[in-house]
């Protein structure tokens, strides 16, 4: 008798395969998009909740500790950029291979992505051990914040391999069409993290309160639990269960992952490095202003859960359709995913606009900080429809193997729009935190508009030809010959 998890996996893959092999109505497409997106939305919700809970408990220690966690997470976001890039590459290639009915290729590249994740995880752990203080000093933070930040950074950053595995293993499952398992594991992680946060930060019975150290330990333990569970479930899948001989380094697959993942890493690195620069501008506004920015960010990020959920669905479905050579279907899925997300995030944006001050009052009693949080969230609410377009179309571009254009666009938007405007509006014109969030919104709107134009022009796919072992495959990848070449891979 098959395990429940395997039955779910098979049902999902069967339904996706039906979409690939027959013409579909918009209603049928919406069902599949929703089926994949909702578990991813729930997973993102609980991942976001982890950061929210951390910020909430740490805020009870003091605003300096909130800033310490904030600057640490800003630097860790660079690590996440690398790990997520490997995950994006694995997700897309697994979806492509499964769409082309190349199960062994999907299995092999999934294991190679885990090997790559281990290498980068160890490297970033060493970087944390040796350079924690210098990296945090780039933020221009005060001595009190630096001391707490370096301590927290080393606790959560040295075991970076755990984070790396979590990103990549979750991406592997999603590439196979299983968005439910990562969701369930995310729920477990957050329960573990919430309980340990309370116990280790404040103390319980014979366990002494450890403050910010406890917050770091709780996060690491929760991630370790999630990592072990993800390994277990990936190996239990019939599609991608591990084979001993696939752990050996394979240059071909490593090159595939690097070629596709490098632009995705570049995109996120450009974003995160730029973020560090403009975070320095926000720090210049004062510790309380930076704390307000961090708290507002932790509230606003709940809006991302919908966008990333539907972006996940778009990447999976576009990748599957591209693998099968169904380019028109890929475009349909990208458009419908975008429409659904814009509608959902517009509603959420209205809630942020109305309830911003109320949300801020949960974290602090400082009236000025609450006011700043409210202003930031009102501005964020206005730009939510643009954020929806940006997130989902980026996912669609990646599913179509086009990771370079989003990288170039992110680099320009971050450095020529966001960072420049943060300085001009926030510092030079003295608009403070309001100027910072207007600058962020302007960057989001700019990139969303450019992606939309590129999508409508049909310049969003970067489909590469499958390797051709037989000479009758056409030398260029087209919709007509993609399946032919793929089947002879």
Which of 3-7, 106-110, 405-409, 445-449 is predicted least confidently? 3-7
pTM over 0.85: no
Ranges 108-117, 263-272, 362-371: which has the least confidence = 263-272
pLDDT by residue (tens digit) across 55-73? 777 777 777 777 778 777 7
Percent of the chain with pLDDT over 70: 87
| pLDDT for residue 9 is more than 70 | no
Q: Averaged over 419-438, what is the pLDDT?
A: 88
pLDDT score of 465: 42
Q: What is the mean pLDDT of the chain?
A: 80
pLDDT band at 199 (very low <50, low <70, confident <90, very high): confident
pLDDT number for residue 13: 52
pLDDT band at 463 (very low <50, low <70, confident <90, very high): low
For residue 454, the enclosing domain spans: 4-15+24-487
Q: What is the mean pLDDT of residues 21-37?
A: 76
User: Is the pLDDT at 389 greater than 50, yes or no?
Assistant: yes
Mean pLDDT over residues 389-402, rounded?
90
State the total domains in the chain.
1
**Euclidean distance between CA atoms 188 and 190, whole angstroms:** 5
Q: Is 27 exposed, middle or buried (0-12, 13-18, 19+ CB in 10 A)?
A: exposed
Task: Report, as an integer, the average pLDDT of 130-150.
Answer: 76
What is the Rg, in whole angstroms, of the alpha carbon atoms belonging to the chain?
22
Q: Could you report the per-residue pLDDT of 155-196, keeping only the tens digit for each?
A: 988 998 998 999 899 888 888 878 788 888 888 888 888 888
């Amino acid at each position: 008798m098959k395990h429940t998890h395997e039955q779910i996996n098979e049902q999902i893959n069967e339904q996706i395969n039906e979409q690939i092999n027959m013409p579909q109505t918009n209603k049928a497409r919406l069902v599949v998009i929703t089926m994949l997106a909702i578990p991813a939305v729930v997973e993102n919700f609980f991942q976001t909740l982890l950061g929210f809970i951390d910020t909430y408990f740490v805020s009870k220690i003091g605003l300096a500790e909130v800033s310490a966690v904030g600057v640490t997470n800003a630097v860790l976001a660079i690590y996440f950029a690398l790990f997520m890039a490997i995950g994006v590459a694995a997700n897309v290639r697994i979806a492509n291979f499964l769409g082309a009915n190349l199960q062994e290729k999907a299995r092999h590249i999934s294991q190679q992505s885990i090997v790559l994740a281990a290498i980068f995880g160890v490297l970033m752990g060493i970087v944390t051990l040796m350079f924690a203080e210098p990296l945090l000093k780039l933020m221009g933070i005060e001595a009190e914040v630096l001391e707490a930040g370096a301590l927290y950074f080393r606790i959560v950053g040295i075991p970076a391999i755990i984070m790396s595995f979590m990103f990549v293993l979750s991406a592997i499952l999603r590439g196979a069409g299983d968005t439910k398992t990562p969701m369930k594991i995310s729920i477990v992680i957050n329960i573990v993290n919430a309980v340990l946060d309370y116990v280790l930060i404040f103390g319980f019975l014979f366990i002494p309160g450890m403050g910010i150290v406890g917050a770091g330990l709780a996060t690491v333990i929760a991630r370790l639990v999630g990592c072990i569970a993800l390994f277990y479930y990936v190996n239990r899948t019939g599609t991608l269960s591990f084979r001993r001989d696939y752990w050996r380094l394979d240059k071909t697959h490593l090159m595939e992952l690097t070629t596709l993942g490098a632009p995705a890493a570049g995109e996120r690195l450009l974003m995160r490095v730029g973020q560090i620069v403009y975070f320095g501008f926000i720090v210049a506004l004062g510790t309380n202003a930076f704390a307000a920015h961090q708290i507002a960010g932790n509230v606003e990020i709940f809006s991302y859960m919908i966008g990333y959920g539907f972006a996940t669905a778009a990447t999976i479905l576009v990748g599957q359709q591209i693998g099968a050579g169904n380019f028109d279907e890929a475009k349909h899925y990208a458009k419908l995913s975008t429409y659904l997300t814009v509608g959902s995030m517009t509603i959420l944006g209205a809630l942020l606009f109305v309830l911003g001050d109320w949300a801020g009052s949960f974290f602090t009693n400082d009236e000025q900080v609450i006011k700043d949080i409210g202003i930031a969230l009102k501005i964020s609410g206005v730009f939510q429809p643009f954020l929806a377009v940006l997130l989902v179309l980026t996912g669609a571009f990646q599913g179509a193997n086009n990771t370079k254009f989003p990288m170039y666009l992110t680099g320009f938007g971050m450095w020529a729009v966001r960072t420049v405007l943060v300085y001009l509006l926030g510092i030079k014109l003295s608009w403070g935190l309001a100027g910072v969030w207007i600058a962020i919104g302007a960057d989001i709107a700019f990139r969303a508009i450019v992606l939309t134009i590129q999508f409508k022009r049909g310049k969003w796919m970067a489909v590469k030809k499958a390797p051709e072992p037989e000479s009758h495959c056409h030398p260029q990848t087209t919709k007509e010959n993609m399946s032919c070449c793929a089947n002879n891979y």
